[in-house]
Amino acid sequence: MTASVAGKDPVLVLGAMSDIGRAIAQAYAAEGHPLHLAARHPERLETEAEDIRIRHNVAVATHAFDVLDLEGHGPFLDGLDPAPSVVVCVVGLLGDQQRSVEDPAAAELVMRTNYIGPSLILEAAAKRLERRGQGVLIGVSSVAGDRGRGSNYVYGSAKAGFTAYLSGLRARLCKSGLRVITVKPGFVDTRMTEGMDLPKRLTAQPEEVAKAVIAAHRQGRDVIYVRPIWRMIMTAIRVLPEPVFKRVKI
Quote the pLDDT of residue 42.
92
Report whether pLDDT(99) > 60.
yes
State the catalytic residues: 155
pLDDT top residue among 94 and 2: 94
7 pLDDT above the threshold of 60: yes
Choose between 130 and 200: higher pLDDT.
Answer: 130
Question: At 132, is the pLDDT very low, low, confident or very high (cuts 50, 70, 90)?
Answer: very high
pLDDT at 1: 36
Percentage of residues of the chain with pLDDT beyond 90? 90
In this prediction, residues 33-48 reach a mean pLDDT of: 95
What average pLDDT does the chain have? Answer: 94
The least confident of 4-8, 10-14, 29-33, 61-65 is 4-8
* Residues 12, 136, 55, 211, Cα dihedral to 10°: 120
Whether residue 4 is predicted with pLDDT greater than 50 in this model: the reply is no
Q: Look at residue 3 and tell me whether its pLDDT is greater than 60.
A: no
Is the pLDDT score of 196 beyond 80?
A: no
Check if the beta carbon of residue 83 is closer than 8 Å to that of residue 10: yes
pLDDT, residue 198, reads: 81
- Check: CB of residue 4 under 8 Å from CB of residue 32: yes
**Range scoring the smallest mean pLDDT among 3-17, 57-71, 80-94:** 3-17
- Residues β-bridged to residue 140: 183
**pLDDT value at residue 95:** 93
* Per-residue pLDDT, 6: 52
pLDDT at 246 > cutoff 50? yes
For position 191, what pLDDT does the model report? 79
Q: CATH homologous superfamily of domain 72-245?
A: NAD(P)-binding Rossmann-like Domain (3.40.50.720)
Strands (DSSP E) along the chain, which ranges? 11-14, 35-39, 60-64, 86-89, 135-140, 178-184, 187-188, 203-204, 223-225
Interval 194-204 mean pLDDT: 82
Q: At what angle do helices 153-173 and 104-111 cross, to 10 degrees?
A: 30
How far is it, in rounded angstroms, from Cα 139 to Cα 201?
A: 24
d(CA 135, CA 118): 17
